[in-house]
Amino acid sequence: MITADAVDATIFQALEAVNTEREPDDQVDVTTETTLFGVDAALDSLEFVSLITDVETTMNLEHELGISLADDRAMSRPVSPYSTVTTLRDYILELAAEK
């Protein structure tokens, strides 16, 4: 079973990949409270899609957890699982528990 720390590390790694494409004075904070999606998002739409793709790929390849983060289930929730690193982590752990 995957742990919360492992999921956080995967999301942080994806955020660091985003930061490699940004100017030094425009870096995304890499914390569990970083806003990923919505009005105050730290990421633009292309960076967000890249982050989700990177996280899905890493979950599959390194943790043998084949999940889809961009589906109707995620989109229909009253609180978006994409809001922050914490909400994304919790959603991934929920999907992992169902496997």
What pLDDT score was predicted for residue 71? 87
**Would you place residue 15 in the very low, low, confident or very high pLDDT band (cuts 50, 70, 90)?**
very high
Residue 1 has pLDDT above 90, yes or no: no
Q: What is the 3-state secondary structure (H, E, C) of the chain?
A: CCCHHHHHHHHHHHHHHHHHCCCHHHCCCCCCCCECCCCCCCCCHHHHHHHHHHHHHHHHHHHCCCCCCCCHHHHCCCCCCCCEHHHHHHHHHHHHHCC
Average pLDDT rounded to a whole number, residues 42-66: 96
Determine the longest span between alpha carbons in the chain, in angstroms: 41
